[in-house]
Amino acid sequence: MAQGLPILVVEDDPNLREAVCDTLELAGQTAVSASGGEAALALLEAQGVALVVSDVRMMPMDGIALLKEIRSRFPHLPVVLMTAYADVDRAVEAMRCGACDFLLKPFEPKALLEHVARYRLPEAMDDERVVANDPVSRNLFALAARVAQTDTTVLLSGESGVGKEVVARFIHNHSARRSGPFVAINCAAIPDSLLEATLFGYEKGAFTGAQQAQAGKFEQAQNGTLLLDEVTEMPLGLQAKLLRVLQEREVERVGGKKPVALDIRIIATSNRDMAEAVARGALREDVYYRLNVFPLLIPALRQRPDDIIPLARHFLAEHGGRSRRTGLRLAPSAEVALRRHSWPGNVRELENVMQRAVIFAPGDVVEVDALHLSLVTPSVAAVAPSATTSAMTPPEAQKTDNMRDMEREHILDTLSAVAGSRKLAGERLGMSERTLRHKLKQYREAGLFNE
């Protein structure tokens, strides 16, 4: 029975290409083939693969040039090159350019299958919580599934909103630690004065107000996974203590004298350039190298366009279900508009757009107007509402006011329909009670709502 993503065989000799594909398929693998580099790249743009096995000597694009293109476009995809004995020097060059390994021609079927077993990406698309239709993201999650089988420290990087915590949870859920806790801490969201006690824990009497001992996040993640979100925002003083934890796999509470042994997997994230953070002194170099054992760069949403519509449908169904609007679907024109948008806020922005669409769509079909994509710009999101309105042109300001009016009317109508129950209203609206309370407070202060 064939398994998972296919293996791409690139070979300009049709007889050898057929022989390699036959060997793979007889061993239960799925194989696809291309007669040259350009054809291989076109196929990779169209579908995900688990491994590329390519000849070195091809015209007009040889295997080395193809390898460099793959490393540029699909950095997580493993490549094994086939080469004659006389081309060993080129094989060494290929390894320097990022090839996993090379096969010396002629080779036995057993050697080919051993390389496939060693380097192919595992099939990782069996997780219903992951939406990954684009070949780029399929390869990313397949690689994440591979590293999940180890206890290696992982460093996730990428722009804000790309889904770093989603990948971190995927790694945890596909690891041997899946039955253990997944503990996340945002190093940028906790004041420096509290971060040490939150991370490392403290003993009774360690400081004023420490009336009882408390385990920190490291201990809470025992036998599981700890996610250090935005680790570059951690103060330098704490980074020294973090280094000891990474090296010794033990933690000492604030005010404590006895270290606690740790059995945890650490995943760190950052939306900053880590090397630049080291250069300007914001991140210790030794901490960087301890965290950067297995780096994974998560591409921006605009770099994986085939994920946009599946993600939009996923969020529409999720938030529509929470608001008891289960029949919502995207109009074809809305899908075109979503694909054309640049998504500066990445997946987080897309989810926000679909959550608003659930509110604004008058019927079961979400049209372009319900998306309000023209209002989603970094400049708008970066300033206060009053400043935003004053900076807009009159039509833009009017459109923003209309959107806020529609949202307010929808919220108040929903609240009225559930006899004032904020819990039920929040469930129908797909928002937390805290968010709902905040909005109602704004309406009350503006004289637009009386309880």
- What pLDDT score was predicted for residue 335? 94
88 and 155 together in one domain? no
- What pLDDT score was predicted for residue 386? 39
- What pLDDT score was predicted for residue 128? 60
End-to-end Cα, the chain, rounded Å: 64
450: in domain? no
80 and 149 together in one domain? no
124: in domain? no
- Final residue belonging to a domain, choices 258, 274, 297: 297
- What pLDDT score was predicted for residue 381? 35
- What pLDDT score was predicted for residue 366? 93
Calpha distance 181→205 (Å, rounded): 28
125: in domain? no
39-89 pLDDT, tens digit per residue, is 999 998 888 888 999 999 898 999 999 998 888 777 778 899 998 765 667
pLDDT exceeds cutoff 80 at 231: yes
User: For residue 87, what are the CA distances in angstroms to 37, 56, 110, 225, 276?
Assistant: 18, 9, 22, 45, 38
126: in domain? no
At 323, is the pLDDT very low, low, confident or very high (cuts 50, 70, 90)? confident
280 and 361 together in one domain? no
pLDDT exceeds cutoff 90 at 165: yes
Query: What's the average model confidence in pLDDT over 314-328?
Result: 88
Give the domain CATH number at 65.
3.40.50.2300
- Final residue belonging to a domain, choices 55, 86, 119: 119
Q: Which residue has the higher pLDDT, 449 or 394?
A: 449
- Final residue belonging to a domain, choices 234, 269, 297: 297
- Structure tokens, 427: 């469930």
In this structure, of 161-175, 188-202, 283-297, the range with the lowest mean pLDDT score is 188-202
238-251 pLDDT, tens digit per residue, is 999 999 999 999 99
270: in domain? yes
Q: What is the DSSP string of 312-327?
A: HHHHHHHHHHHTT-TT
199 and 109 together in one domain? no
Give the best-scoring range by mean pLDDT among 59-73, 110-124, 174-188, 320-334. 174-188
253 and 272 together in one domain? yes
Whether the CB-CB separation of 55 and 20 falls below 8 Å is answered with no
329: in domain? yes
**Range(s) of the domain holding residue 68:** 3-119
199 and 69 together in one domain? no
130: in domain? no
311 and 275 together in one domain? no
In this structure, of 234-243, 267-276, 362-371, 380-389, the range with the lowest mean pLDDT score is 380-389
11: in domain? yes
Whether the CB-CB separation of 270 and 102 falls below 8 Å is answered with no
- In sequence order, what are the residues at sequence separation of 6 or more whose Cβ sits closer than 8 angstroms to the Cβ of residue 55? 10, 11, 12, 13, 16, 63, 81, 82, 83
Domain total in the chain: 3
385-441 pLDDT, tens digit per residue, is 333 444 455 554 554 555 567 677 778 877 877 778 887 777 677 666 777 887 888
- What pLDDT score was predicted for residue 404? 67
- Per-residue burial over 59-80, b if 16 or more Cβ lie within 10 Å, else e, is eebbbbebbebbeeebbbbbbb
Question: Pick from 170, 124, 180, 175: which is nearest to 149 by CA?
Answer: 175
289 and 323 together in one domain? no
Calpha distance 226→71 (Å, rounded): 30
Q: How far is CA 153 from the centre of its chain?
A: 16
On the question of a cis peptide bond just before residue 394, with omega within 30 degrees of 0, the verdict is no
- The alpha-helical segments, DSSP class H, found in 225-369 are 236-248, 274-279, 285-291, 308-322, 332-340, 346-360
Fill in the amino acid letter for 167: V
Q: How far is CA 267 from the centre of its chain?
A: 13
At 90, is the pLDDT very low, low, confident or very high (cuts 50, 70, 90)? confident
30 and 73 together in one domain? yes
Percent of the chain surpassing pLDDT 70: 87
142 and 290 together in one domain? yes
Query: Counting Cβ atoms within 10 Å, is residue 291 exposed (0-12), middle (13-18) or buried (19+)?
Result: buried
- What pLDDT score was predicted for residue 396? 47
- Structure tokens, 60: 């007009």
286 and 377 together in one domain? no
153 and 263 together in one domain? yes
Average pLDDT over all residues of the chain: 84
Other beta carbons within 10 angstroms of residue 201's beta carbon come to: 23
In this structure, of 14-18, 267-271, 282-286, 319-323, the range with the lowest mean pLDDT score is 319-323
User: For residue 385, what are the CA distances in angstroms to 308, 360, 437, 441?
Assistant: 28, 20, 18, 16
At 308, is the pLDDT very low, low, confident or very high (cuts 50, 70, 90)? very high
pLDDT exceeds cutoff 70 at 125: no
Long-range contacts of 69-74 (CB under 8 A, 24+ apart): 69/37, 69/41, 70/41, 70/44, 71/97, 71/98, 73/41, 73/44, 73/45, 73/136, 74/44, 74/135, 74/136, 74/139
- Structure tokens, 360: 């604004």
Q: Which pTM was predicted? A: 0.66
Query: What's the average model confidence in pLDDT over 254-259?
Result: 86
Percent of the chain surpassing pLDDT 90: 44
